[in-house]
Amino acid sequence: MAQRLFHIFRNTPLGRETLLQSIYFCQQMGVLPTVYIPEATKFLMYFENDVVQVDLDPSYLNDPETALTHAEHLLKAAKMKPELFTPKNFTASTLPDIPTNFEFMCCPRSISDLSSKIGLGYIGPRVRRIIQAARFPVLITSPVYKPWQRIAVFFGGSANAVNALRLGIRVATLTNLRLDIFTQAGKNDPSKYRAIVRDAGLEKSLENILEGWTFFEKKRFEDNLYDVPHDALVVLGAYGHGIIRDIMFGSMMEKIQSTISNNLLIAGPKYTVIA
């Protein structure tokens, strides 16, 4: 079944890097990119129990005459059939509805703020809302096009971390890349984490793809992040812990996104694992 990645094209050099990253992800995963070239700065995404209004940074509407050509050029160069998305439903005449039945979505760190504000440590409120409400994982790209050669999963033991690990296994299997697991164990016994993975029935899936499982026992978590390969796609869960998940992004997630500049594939609390 053809899976799709939804990408909102920003007709700027930064947008080109983001689209290149999406194309790379699609090529690796065998996923079809669906590109939306916005005509208005607003759109709505209706999720299962939430409606998110995305107010795009005006640079998304830059030079509309060349936007289509630029997007098609990048897709054709990657030998991908350009599939452009045109909204069918509108809540108001200037407020299109974007479907939420995609398998993946690509976002830069922020889609509502000026690109000059985007940097490490900042993920915009709309991107956070999308991650919180979406059934699909969100690909947050690095600032420049950066192909990845391995998969790194951050596993903290929560139910959402198990989902993130499943996602990492899926990505590693589809891309034939090796997978590393990183856990900030602290004083906890590593066997506790191994037991969680065993109980989730993931041991067998990991057998052929697991490169190594690193347990950080000393130092602060953010200091240990230097060990994460720079060319890895980092897979992790967000909003993972109980009622706090509805308010907080997750402390581990915040530290990772503010420390490393890798591509991030984030599974939110509503992420539904595809078999």
Partner 1 sequence: MIRLLKKLKYPGRWSLFRSDDRLLLIVFAVIVGICSGLAALLLNRSLETMLAWLHHYRVYWWAIFLPAAGAALSSLFLEKIVNEGAGHGVPEVIYAVSRYGGLLRLRSGFSRLISSCLTIGSGGSAGPEAPVVMSGAAIGSNIAQAFSLNDRQRVALVGCGAAGAIAAIFNAPISGMVFAIEVILGEWSTMNIIPIAIAAVAGTEVSRLLKGNQIAFAHRIFDIHFHDILACVGLAVFCALASVLLTRALRAMHHLSKGVALPLWVRAAIGGSMVGAIGYLLPYVLGEGYHAIHKAIEGGFSGGLMLVTAIALLKILATSLTLGWGGSGGIFAPCLVIGAFVGLSFHRFMAAVWSSVIWVNEGCFALLGMAGLISGIMQAPLTGIFLVIEISGGYEVIVPLIVVSTISTTLCHYLEPASFYLKDLVEQGQLLRPGTDARVLTDLSIQELLETDCICVHPDMRLADFLDIVKTSHRNHFPVEDRKTRNFLGMIHLDDIRPYLFDPAMHNAVLTGQLMNRHVKSVSLHDDLSDVLKKMNDDHIFSMPVVSDNRFLGMISKATLLDQYRKELMVQTGRF
Contact residues toward partner 1 (CB under 8 A) are 1-2, 32, 42, 44, 46, 49-51, 53, 55, 81, 88-95, 242-244, 246
32-70 burial code (b ≥16 CB/10 A, e <16): ebbbbbbeeeebbbeeeeeebebebbebbbeeeeebeeb
Select 148 or 239, whichever has its Cβ closest to partner 1.
239
Q: Enumerate residues 6+ apart whose C-beta is below 8 A from 224.
A: 182, 184, 216
Q: Are 213 and 146 in contact (CB under 8 A)?
A: no
Q: Which two tokens stand for residue 39?
A: 């005509």
Q: Sign (positive/negative) of CA torsion 258, 235, 263, 22?
A: negative
Q: Are strands 104-107 and 83-85 parallel, antiparallel or unpaired?
A: unpaired
Helix or strand holding residue 29 (H, E): helix 13-29
Select 102 or 154, whichever has its Cβ closest to partner 1.
102
Q: Are 263 and 139 in contact (CB under 8 A)?
A: yes
Candidates 34, 28, 30, 36; CA nearest to 2 is 30
* Residue carrying the six token digits 């530290």: 255
Q: Minimum distance between the CB of residue 47 and partner 1, rounded to whole angstroms? A: 8
Q: Are 180 and 155 in contact (CB under 8 A)?
A: no
Q: Minimum distance between the CB of residue 33 and partner 1, rounded to whole angstroms? A: 11
DSSP collapsed to 3 states, 150-174: EEEEECCCCHHHHHHHHHHHHHHHH
Q: Sign (positive/negative) of CA torsion 257, 142, 138, 94?
A: positive
